[in-house]
């Protein structure tokens, strides 16, 4: 717990609070409508964009900074094990930028930047606020006790609700709390919901899911210059706004961007985000509620606001997901560039040399190596007929059982300067101990959490101004522009028929296919079958996708397909040897396929 002479109060919750679902006693409705913004959708997001949201959106009450993914969680585990920070190293940068304005406007910041050391993060923020001359309170909510092996369980919204019931802090810092729960906690507290308010929880959770990735809802990871329906002028993308949502006590939801800002929030952007990182849309599991997303739909109120409806919920899950860090090997990699005529052939020759040199010392080691030529076949197999390359960058990446083998790859790769083909330069290489995350389902009663509170001043209640829309008098939605169906009997790229994006969890990816014309969904189903998808991936990875498992789901509310491909990411983001560890580029691989509708 952070201490200091200027910290005049501390509040501790029962350290043995369990994750079993117990109904709240007479929950009070604090507000009719709560306005929650997303200030960060991942650890690499931009504090300046969050600051713009604070300035441009009136009556914002909560700002969520979601900065803890699988990859960044592993980084925090490794850093703490090495004696470094177990919390996000950018937390001071973010708070320096946001705290003065957030405190002035009465906005509570909620963040999972606590990583595997939320108490250390709390202390950092309190020291920073003292330097800034700002008197604040900082609460923490975290799994207790913090496991010594670095494992972490996805907590739900209950710890955040408890913090808000006990005090009204300026900042809430959590450990591994589910992304959705970071937003859902303030909704439950402010709107007086209970744990069995499934209709309202469903709508709140889907709003949270839409918000959690930041600008992906408002034009980021969406704009495509080659698609006239997704092409935005550069100034529009430059001025893209982070999203926020208005959520009412009875479950009405409007997602929005700052009025007059750039980017786009529409049925199209909302549909892409709805099934991002989702497997079975009928059973999207969060710690607080199991969502059915199949009937969710969107209606545009204006260029800045969209109504969300149709979310349903079954119940809360009986089990919680635990991530367990596990050593999976030593990564050794190297890159070298070639230019001019036959540059790709020289890159391939270098690949063969490095592999052969390694075989002399470690027979059979080639099976642990994955090679590619960036610009030719690093994302998926090279086209036929092959394209002419004028520059090529070879990447050789191996995951080995010992540090000695990884170091050998780096040494042999460096030998290409004087022993390899002509004209090679720009060698980069490295060695890294790799950690993967094993997933385990655990009983709720096996997981406990704790909240704690420290600071010099409680947060004052933020006034709710008239700019928070009364949800009972929402304007009539604008009619959506109708797009013509795809032609019959003509081979065309899927780009001209649909749009979508890829998400990943572990060794599984999903991609959405959202037709420009809703009438095309039935014909799209006929073409995009599990067998068709598996054939595309097998060709793309030259046989490496042989163990892939494919499921295709219909999402009726947005007239779309959600395609899930398992065992296709070379182990997942924490250990994959691919250039694109997340598989983000694979949606465009699918959209570039020629199809014929009949």
Rounded-to-integer distance, Cα 57 and Cα 468, Å: 10
Domain boundaries, the chain: 9-214+240-248+447-473, 323-438, 491-596
Say what the pLDDT of residue 457 is.
66
Cis peptide before 464 (omega within 30 of 0): no
- Dig out the tokens for 390 from the structure: 């004028």
The residue ranges of DSSP E strands in 469-559, in sequence order, are 491-493, 498-499, 502-505, 508-515, 549-555
Question: What are the start-end ranges of the H helices in 430-579?
Answer: 521-527, 530-540
Contact 256, 305 (CB under 8 A): yes
CA distances from 579 to 393, 413, 437, 573, 592 (A): 12, 18, 20, 10, 20
Contact 325, 74 (CB under 8 A): yes
Rounded-to-integer distance, Cα 344 and Cα 333, Å: 19
Q: CATH number for 323-438: choose from 1.10.287, 3.40.50, 2.30.30, 3.30.70.
A: 3.30.70
The 3-state secondary structure of 342-380 reads CHHHHHHHHHHHHHHHHHHHCCCHHHHEEEEEECCCCCC
Task: Tell which residue, 553, 559, 479, has the closest CA to residue 516.
Answer: 559
Q: What is the pLDDT along the chain (598 residues), one digit of tens a residue?
A: 333 333 333 444 445 566 777 899 999 999 999 999 999 999 999 999 999 999 999 999 999 999 999 999 999 999 999 999 999 999 999 999 999 999 999 999 999 999 999 999 999 999 999 999 999 999 999 999 888 888 999 999 999 999 999 989 999 999 999 999 999 999 999 999 999 999 999 999 999 999 999 999 999 999 999 888 898 999 999 999 999 999 999 999 999 999 999 999 999 999 999 999 999 999 999 999 999 999 999 999 999 999 999 999 989 999 999 999 999 999 999 999 999 999 999 999 999 999 999 999 999 999 999 999 998 888 876 555 667 789 999 999 999 999 999 999 999 999 999 999 999 999 999 999 999 999 999 999 999 999 999 986 665 454 444 445 556 656 666 666 668 888 888 999 999 999 999 999 999 999 999 999 999 999 999 999 999 998 888 766 644 555 789 999 999 999 999 999 998 898 988 999 998 999 898 898 899 899 999 8
Give bridge partners of residue 139 from the DSSP assignment. 172, 453
The residue ranges of DSSP E strands in 412-490, in sequence order, are 425-443, 448-455
Rounded-to-integer distance, Cα 52 and Cα 259, Å: 12
Q: Provide the terminal-to-terminal Cα distance of the chain, rounded to the nearest Å.
A: 66
- Kindly give, in sequence order, each residue whose CB lies less than 8 Å from that of residue 479, ignoring residues fewer than 6 positions away: none
């Amino acid at each position: 717990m952070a201490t200091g002479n200027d910290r005049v109060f501390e509040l501790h919750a029962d350290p043995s609070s369990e994750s079993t679902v117990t109904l709240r006693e007479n929950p009070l409705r604090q507000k009719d409508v709560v306005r929650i913004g997303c200030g960060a959708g991942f650890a690499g997001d931009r504090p300046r964009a969050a600051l713009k949201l604070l300035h441009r959106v009136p009556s914002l009450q909560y700002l969520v900074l979601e900065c803890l993914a699988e990859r960044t969680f592993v980084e925090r585990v490794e850093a703490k094990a090495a004696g470094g920070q177990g919390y996000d190293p950018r937390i001071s940068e973010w708070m320096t930028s946001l705290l003065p304005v957030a405190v002035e406007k009465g906005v509570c910041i909620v963040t999972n930047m606590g990583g595997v050391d939320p108490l250390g993060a709390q202390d950092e923020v309190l020291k920073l606020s003292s330097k800034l001359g700002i008197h604040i309170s900082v609460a923490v909510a975290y799994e207790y006790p913090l496991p010594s092996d670095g494992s972490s369980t996805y907590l739900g919204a209950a710890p955040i609700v408890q913090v808000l019931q006990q005090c009204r802090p300026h900042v809430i810092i959590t450990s591994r709390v589910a992304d959705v729960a970071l937003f859902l906690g303030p909704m439950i507290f402010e709107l007086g919901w209970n744990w069995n308010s499934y209709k309202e929880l469903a709508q709140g959770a889907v709003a949270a899911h839409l918000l959690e990735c930041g600008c992906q809802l408002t034009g980021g990871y969406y704009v495509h210059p080659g698609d006239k329906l997704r092409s935005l002028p550069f100034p529009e993308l430059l001025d893209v706004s982070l999203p926020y949502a208005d959520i009412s006590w009875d479950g009405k939801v409007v997602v929005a961007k700052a009025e007059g800002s750039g980017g786009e929030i529409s049925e199209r952007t909302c549909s892409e985000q709805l099934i991002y990182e989702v497997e079975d849309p009928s059973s999207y599991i969060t710690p607080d509620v199991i969502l059915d997303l199949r009937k969710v739909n969107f209606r545009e109120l204006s260029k800045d606001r969209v109504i969300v409806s149709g979310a349903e919920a079954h119940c809360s899950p009986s089990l919680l997901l635990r991530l367990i860090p596990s050593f999976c090997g030593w990564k050794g990699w190297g890159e070298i560039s070639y230019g001019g005529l036959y540059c790709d052939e020289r890159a391939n020759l270098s690949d063969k040399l490095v592999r052969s040199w390694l075989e002399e010392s470690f027979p059979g080691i080639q099976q642990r190596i994955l090679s590619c030529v960036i610009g030719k076949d690093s994302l998926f197999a090279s086209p036929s007929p092959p394209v002419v390359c004028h520059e090529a960058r070879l990447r050789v990446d191996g995951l080995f059982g010992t540090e000695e083998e990884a170091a050998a790859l780096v040494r042999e790769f460096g030998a290409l300067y004087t022993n390899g083909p002509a004209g090679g330069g720009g060698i980069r290489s490295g060695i890294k101990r790799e950690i993967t995350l094993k997933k385990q389902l655990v009983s709720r009663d096996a997981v406990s959490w704790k909240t704690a509170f420290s600071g010099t001043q409680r947060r004052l209640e933020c006034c709710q101004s008239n700019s928070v829309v009364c949800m009972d008098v929402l304007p009539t939605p604008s009619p959506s522009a109708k797009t013509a169906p795809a032609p019959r009997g003509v081979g065309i790229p899927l780009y001209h028929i649909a749009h979508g994006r890829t998400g990943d969890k572990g060794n599984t990816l999903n991609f959405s296919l959202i037709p420009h014309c809703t009438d095309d969904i039935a014909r799209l189903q006929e073409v995009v079958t599990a067998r068709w998808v598996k054939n595309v991936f097998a060709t793309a990875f030259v046989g490496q996708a042989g163990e892939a498992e494919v499921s295709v789901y219909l999402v009726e509310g947005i007239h779309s397909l959600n395609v899930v491909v398992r065992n296709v990411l070379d182990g997942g983001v924490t250990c994959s040897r691919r250039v694109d560890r997340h598989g983000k580029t694979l949606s465009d691989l699918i959209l570039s396929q020629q199809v014929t509708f009949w």
